[in-house]
Amino acid sequence: MSARGYFITGTDTGVGKTVITACLTVLFQNRGLRVGAIKPIETGVDPECRSSANSDAEFLQEVAGTDDATNAACLYRFRTPAAPMQASRSEGREIEPGPLLESIRNLRETRDVVLVEGIGGLLVPIFPGFCVADLARESGFPLLLVSRYAVGTLNHTALTVSEARRRDLEITGIILNHNENRPLDAVELGQKALIEELTGLPVLAECPFLQTVHPGRFRETLRPEIDRWFEKIP
């Protein structure tokens, strides 16, 4: 059996990819599917960290409710808060493509849906000659692009879509995430329509600001809301 899935990327770091990946995990579980969520590389995290408050990979595992070994969800952790290539050089540890791709292939054989969260944006370097866009291609999954409501998001979103198309990466659609605890202003409220006009892609979901992000909240109180917010995700 080979699972379907998505590679979740963003217009930048800090746009809310992990929150969106967690929401998608619950969405597909609500549809009765076995979900595998993986963030194969993360930086700015203690390699020995087992706390979902500090590790995106741990957070996703708790939301999914899986008992997979931590290394299956995150193969490379670096304490240095930088792009993987810079962090690995700083700490004297090499990143190899084989284990990254093998971890994704293993999930494909045991899950109905696989969600792979990238790190930063598409051109973040992982090692020389290999960036997040290359990992997305090798995963075999189409992209879901996470963008945020903010001044500058039209440019960031259009640039990311342009680069993905230049690399012949399939894009299923865009998810707009509100990642600040404040009301959206008139300019931001108009960004959905403009993003669709500029990119020719659908905005499949708009996720409101989630004030208390805790794995248990995704599994319990947010389940009905997630179905509504993300109902257009195929």
Does residue 76 sit in helix, strand or coil? Answer: strand
Phi and psi based region of residue 151 (left: phi greater than 0; alpha: psi -120 to 50; beta: remaining): beta
- Of 17, 39, 192, 232, the catalytic one is 39
Amino acid, res. 152 = G
Using alpha carbons, list the distances in angstroms from residue 104 to 3, 63, 99, 107: 10, 18, 9, 5
| Helix H or strand E segment including 204 | strand 203-207
Can 39 be counted among the known catalytic residues? yes
Supply 60's token pair: 């996703």
Find, among 144, 158, 139, 141, the residue nearest to 196 by Cα: 158
State the greatest distance between any 2 C-alpha atoms of the chain, in Å, as a whole number: 48
Catalytically active residues, by annotation: 39
